[in-house]
Amino acid sequence: MARLETAQAVSTALRNHLPLEDDVFDSLLPEPLGDRSSLYWTPLSVIEMASQWLIEAGARTVLDVGSGPGKFVVATALLTDLLVTGVEHRAALHAAAQGLVEILGVGDRVRLVHAPIDEVDMTQFDALYLFNPFGENLFAEEEQLDKTVALSEARYHEDVARMESTLERAPTGTLFLTYHGFGGRIPGSYFPMKSDFAGSDVLRLWRKSSDDASADSWCEVEGRINLAQTGPRKRAPGVGRRKP
């Protein structure tokens, strides 16, 4: 199937909530990104569940933290009327996302930002989505996507700490979606709204219910939600890898 015909089939299927295989969507990505999709980017079944949860929760704007080639942002824009922003630090992935937005015709509701997360005000969005975007820093070199950005354990801890700070500063009512976790603690001011198995892990939706600091924080552990005492920041057990 020619690329334009595939794009039309993908657009029609998602706009009408019809079944669509990930392989078909991923064929629109440049090689070898499509082949790596199952390891690095959200499956369509998870995106559909996440987007439905966000609509039901009243979200209007969503930020995908570590948006890669744009699979989550573009599929969400096709499935819903949400305004979706993706932030990505790899230039090649940002360019791939731009191509996906163009061929699938969602430029009116998708914004792509090529930058590290510390250059984006993440508190301005109704909802944040994270598919373990920092875990690659802990992968062995042969498991990393490429060598175009600096990856290290130090960067992992910096990014996780930055995300924890964002959650603390976010306004009351902020929604927070995680898939495969993000490796950090979720403040006790967030209430777990929904949790369900999807794809290869658990999808979880949280809402910030108050601005009050809590002595406890939430920690995602091995496919369930546990309440953990706030202490020295450390990697959450069972969280921090997507697969392989």
Residues 153-186 have pLDDT tens digits of: 999 999 999 999 999 999 999 999 999 999 999 9
Per-residue pLDDT band at 145 (split at 50, 70, 90): confident
Query: For residue 237, is it within any domain?
Result: no
Give the domain CATH number at 191: 3.40.50.150
Domain count, the chain: 1
Query: For residue 104, is it within any domain?
Result: yes
Residues 69-113 have pLDDT tens digits of: 999 999 999 999 999 999 999 999 999 999 999 999 999 999 999
Query: For residue 77, is it within any domain?
Result: yes
Query: For residue 240, is it within any domain?
Result: no
Distance, in Å, from the CA atom of 144 to the CA atom of 195, rounded to the nearest integer, reads: 29
Query: For residue 243, is it within any domain?
Result: no
* pTM for this model (two decimals): 0.90
List of long-range contacts for 108-111, beta carbons under 8 Å, 24+ apart: 109/77, 109/81, 109/82, 109/83, 109/84, 110/70, 110/73, 110/74, 110/77, 110/84, 110/85, 110/86, 111/83, 111/84, 111/85, 111/86
Q: Is 83 helix (H, G, I), strand (E, B) or coil?
A: strand
CA nearest neighbour of 182 among 231, 141, 139, 221: 221
Of the listed ranges 63-67, 111-115, 131-135, 238-242, the one predicted with least confidence: 238-242
Query: For residue 236, is it within any domain?
Result: no
- Please check the confidence at residue 234 and state whether its pLDDT lies above 50: no
Query: For residue 173, is it within any domain?
Result: yes
Residues 194-212 have pLDDT tens digits of: 999 998 889 999 999 988 7
Query: For residue 161, is it within any domain?
Result: yes
pLDDT of amino acid 35 = 86
Q: Which structural domain range is residue 127 located in?
A: 3-229
